[in-house]
Amino acid sequence: PAEARQMVEKSLQTPRARKNLFLIEVSSKLQGDVSEIFNLFATDLDYAPFTLSGEKRKIGSATTDSVSGSEPVELRMTVMDDKSGTLKRWFSNHHAAVAAEDGTVGVPDAYAVRIKIVHAFVTQESNRGGYEDIGQFRPVNMEINLSRREDAMAELQMTFTQLDSFMKAPG
């Protein structure tokens, strides 16, 4: 019982990470640093920071795991927007830099979006100690849901994909 009590006390004293405490840094050469507006309007963030692909191989009667590589990260961000459509325009401008109306495709340097996510940060000024992920992404799609049946805030679902899985974005 004494050992169990110590384990419970240690568990209760351990500061836990909160899922609602995250900081997003978003910047690109196309439109500069827009971290402030993303932190103001972001409500949800879903991503898997790493995915390893592979397959099982039979060796006689045994099985071995054969890793074939690291998959790119897909990041989904739910954000609200202001009446002037600031984030819709931001995404649209990046989309146009990737695939222009004339059928040409832009170079990644022109449309790459640097996204850094810091989990369980202390304050905006000092986010030391929190877990962070960082990468270079490109816009994939933006989903907009509108409804006349409810008087709710408009939300956008933005999806980004990692440009490559072998480089981290510069800090």
Averaged pLDDT, groups of 10, the chain, 171 residues long: 86 78 92 94 92 89 88 94 94 94 90 91 58 91 92 93 72 49
Distance CA 131, CA 120 (A): 7
Contacts of 137 (CB under 8 A, 6+ apart): 73, 75, 112, 113, 114, 115, 160, 161, 162, 163
Report residue 166 CA to chain centroid gap: 17
pLDDT of residue 167: 59
Contacts of 131 (CB under 8 A, 6+ apart): 17, 118, 119, 120
Whole-model pTM: value is 0.81
pLDDT of residue 123: 55
pLDDT of residue 161: 95
pLDDT of residue 21: 84
